[in-house]
Amino acid sequence: MTPAGASAATAAVEFSEVGFSYRPRRGGQVEAVAGLSFSAPAGSTTAIVGPNGCGKTTLLRLACGVIAPDSGAVTAQPAALMPQSDLLLPWAGALDNAALALRAAGVDSATARRSAAEWFPRLGLEGFEKARPHELSGGMRQRVAFARTVLSGRPVLALDEPFASLDSLSRIKAREWLRSAIAESGRTALLVTHDIEEAIAVAERVVVLSPRPARVVAVHRTPGGEPGSAEAVTLRREILENLLEEAE
């Protein structure tokens, strides 16, 4: 296990004693995050795992500036959120969907399409530029959504369970392209996932959260290499033990 933070000089995202509560319309208050601190080093991928409803998505929303903490501070470079649903426009082709972030930023159509087209061979989408979302597999749709997120130009990618809707085999294949695509993009990534193996396979660091209200239980460095290596299996057991201990 490693220390919970990276130095402020190298952190792309830093949570410092962050607290946040939701206030449902019917009254009351739900404490989602309490006294949470950790940093995501620039240029790396940090996975966030924890039980259902513990506040993982809340952390991504805080990092993206969608919501502000009630206490503590979140310091982050500009971040783009990739939600669980791909949110592709059903009437537009894959290339136009990928180029949407650039078009929203005021880039002309031809330039946006050229920039998006550069990512299609990298993501195994070459030849599917004109395909509508219903003509693409779930994994291909997620690749288009990832390209759209990268093309936002923001230095931090906040990925909220991007493979939750995929079957097990598709998820395994998706891990392979995601890790290489993040590395090629040169961005910092925050990956929320329920899949411990996925976290180990894709990220350099895994942050383990407690049940709500979320706090950091442990931060682990991943061994790299094959997901089925002895080191990866050992780390998976340690993370699972972290989660089970907190659930008691």
Per the CB < 8 A criterion, the answer to whether 191 and 40 are in contact is no
Report how far residue 17's alpha carbon sits from residue 35's, in angstroms, rounded to the nearest whole number: 4
Q: What is the pLDDT of residue 139?
A: 87
Q: Are strands 205-209 and 216-221 parallel, antiparallel or unpaired?
A: antiparallel
| pLDDT tens for each residue of the chain, 248 residues long | 433 444 444 889 999 999 999 887 777 788 999 999 999 999 999 999 998 888 899 999 999 999 999 999 999 999 999 988 889 999 999 999 999 999 988 999 999 999 999 999 988 899 999 999 999 998 899 889 999 999 999 999 999 988 887 777 778 878 888 888 888 888 999 999 988 999 999 999 999 999 999 999 999 999 876 777 889 999 999 999 999 887 76
Q: What is the pLDDT of residue 248?
A: 65
* HEC secondary structure over 86-152: CCCCCCCCHHHHHCHHHHHCCCCHHHHHHHHHCHHHHCCCCCCCCCCHHHCCHHHHHHHHHHHHHCC
Q: What is the pLDDT of residue 42?
A: 93
Spatial neighbors of 7 by CB under 8 A, at least 6 apart, are 39
Q: Are strands 188-192 and 156-160 parallel, antiparallel or unpaired?
A: parallel
Report how far residue 99's alpha carbon sits from residue 89's, in angstroms, rounded to the nearest whole number: 11
Q: What is the pLDDT of residue 225?
A: 67
Tokens representing residue 76 in the block: 């982050």
Residue 52's CB: how many other CB atoms inside 10 A? 8
CA distances from 181 to 36, 201, 205 (A): 29, 13, 17
Per the CB < 8 A criterion, the answer to whether 80 and 148 are in contact is no
Report how far residue 196's alpha carbon sits from residue 239's, in angstroms, rounded to the nearest whole number: 8
Q: Which of 195, 130, 186, 197 is nearest to 165 (CA)?
A: 195
**What are 73's strand-pairing partners?**
16
Q: What is the pLDDT of residue 9?
A: 46
